[in-house]
Amino acid sequence: MAQVDITPDALDQFNNLPRVIRERVGKILIRLANWPEVSGAKALSGALVGWYRIRTGDYRVRFHVKEVLVTVDKIGHRKDVYEH
């Protein structure tokens, strides 16, 4: 089991999501506690090497993992989430 940490910025982004998307993202955050047995996670490349994302529709949850700590730093629409 991993510990899931959400940055204050990501928490604000989560709270500003539409209700339906917030519910779907909430389920993803719960699933992240089972890291590394999480389906749908994709490793990012380029400037974001070492980061991962999970998608739900047009929305993404961006996170990185250090040992048993999963840190979610960005939650949002796909057009915004890949900015470093």
Whole-number Å distance between alpha carbons of 48 and 80: 14
pTM: 0.92
Give the CATH superfamily of 3-81: RelE-like (3.30.2310.20)
Query: What integer pLDDT is reported at residue 40 of this predicted model?
Result: 95
What residue type is assigned to position 71 of the chain? T
Instruction: Show me where the domains of the chain are located.
Output: 3-81
Alpha helix positions (H), the chain: 8-15, 19-31, 78-81
| Residue whose C-alpha is closest to residue 29's, from 77, 78, 62, 66 | 62
**pLDDT for 9-22, tens place per residue?**
999 999 999 999 99
Q: Give the number of other Cβ atoms within 10 Å of residue 11's Cβ.
A: 12
In tens, the pLDDT along 25-81 reads: 999 999 999 999 999 999 999 999 999 999 999 999 999 999 999 999 999 999 988
Helix or strand (DSSP H, E) at 64: strand 59-66
